[in-house]
Amino acid sequence: MKPRLVAETESYAVVYKPPFMHTAPLREGEKGTLLDWFGAVFPPVLKLEGRKKIEGGLVHRLDFETEGLTLIAKKQDFLDAFLLRREKELFVKEYGAIVSPPGGQTLPGFPPPPPFSPLIESGFRPYGRGRKTVRPLTGKTEGKETDEKVYRTEILESTELDGARKYLRLRIQRGFRHQIRCHLAWIGAPILYDPLYRTDYRIGAENGAERKNLALRCEVLAFADLSGVKREYRISPLIRDYSVKAGGS
């Protein structure tokens, strides 16, 4: 799978990021990222100044394993405005995920899960060797580096699939690294083929099993542009890639 341009205006581009591709470079000069790909098409995007110099015009990032829609600013005024709107939760992203009950060992470091609710919310803290994962925070934790903001993952729809799997349609407005992946694992519905938040899949991968795409896709971006016009961009929902059980809810 390769990146592709979904939509473009003078101010921004909506770009599809395939799985197993970094959105932005981790270090200066790194090649093969989504930003590098778009920069070859529109070089000025690399000179825009965002949260980090090496992120150019990126408005938001997707995890390395996650696929779907990204928004890239082509002008500095658009980038400045949308980085602020993202913090004010005025930039909406909807995701599709395929989940199933966890297998293997229980992941350490999680607080007790909240009562079931279509709204999952918490702060986050880095966790584990190399701080490669995160864990939910439900209150202040003395002596630990934390993010004091509250991040919300809203479950908009749940559809039964074959077996114990479900398709979830989710909405976030201000995201944290691994937010959806961690929140769903916390409530006992980890995403299929997640190498960080499903121990059964990680163990299989370590034993040489074929790597499969993380079942998480950013399907919708919705926002008002700088002139106040509402924009919405969609790609094929992830549920179409999986067989649906008749009569699912």
Give pLDDT tens digits for 23-57. 998 887 788 999 999 999 999 999 999 888 889 99
Contacts of 71 (CB under 8 A, 6+ apart): 12, 13, 14, 15, 58, 59, 60, 82, 91, 221, 223
Residue pointed to by tokens 């990680």: 202
Amino acid at 216: L
72 and 233 Cβ atoms separated by less than 8 Å:
no
For residue 59, list its beta bridge partners.
Answer: none
Reported as a pLDDT band with limits 50, 70 and 90, residue 246 is: very low
Give pLDDT tens digits for 167-194. 999 999 988 999 999 999 999 999 999 9
Exposure string for 135-164, b = 16+ CB within 10 A, e = fewer: bbbeeeeeeeeeeeeebbbebebebebeee
73 and 79 Cβ atoms separated by less than 8 Å:
yes
What is the arithmetic mean of pLDDT over 220-247?
A: 86
Give pLDDT tens digits for 188-229. 999 999 999 998 766 545 555 577 899 999 999 999 999 989
What is the arithmetic mean of pLDDT over 81-98?
A: 88
CA–CA dist 249, 247 (Å, integer): 6
Reported as a pLDDT band with limits 50, 70 and 90, residue 143 is: very low
DSSP SS3 for 182: helix
For residue 166, list its beta bridge partners.
Answer: 99, 160
Give pLDDT tens digits for 92-107. 999 999 999 887 777 8
How much of the chain exceeds pLDDT 90, in percent?
66
Task: Walk me through the domains of the chain, giving residue ranges and CATH numbers.
Answer: 4-88 (3.30.2350.10), 96-206 (3.30.2350.10)
119 and 88 Cβ atoms separated by less than 8 Å:
no
Q: Is the pLDDT of residue 164 over 60?
A: yes
Tokens describing residue 189: 């519905």
CA angle 228, 234, 239 (to 5 degrees): 150
DSSP SS3 for 17: strand
CA–CA dist 102, 114 (Å, integer): 17
189 and 101 Cβ atoms separated by less than 8 Å:
yes
Neighbouring C-beta atoms of residue 114, cutoff 10 Å: 15
183 and 216 Cβ atoms separated by less than 8 Å:
no
Longest dimension (CA), the chain: 53
Q: What pLDDT is attached to residue 146?
A: 53
Amino acid at 133: T
The structure's pTM equals 0.89
What is the arithmetic mean of pLDDT over 110-134?
A: 92
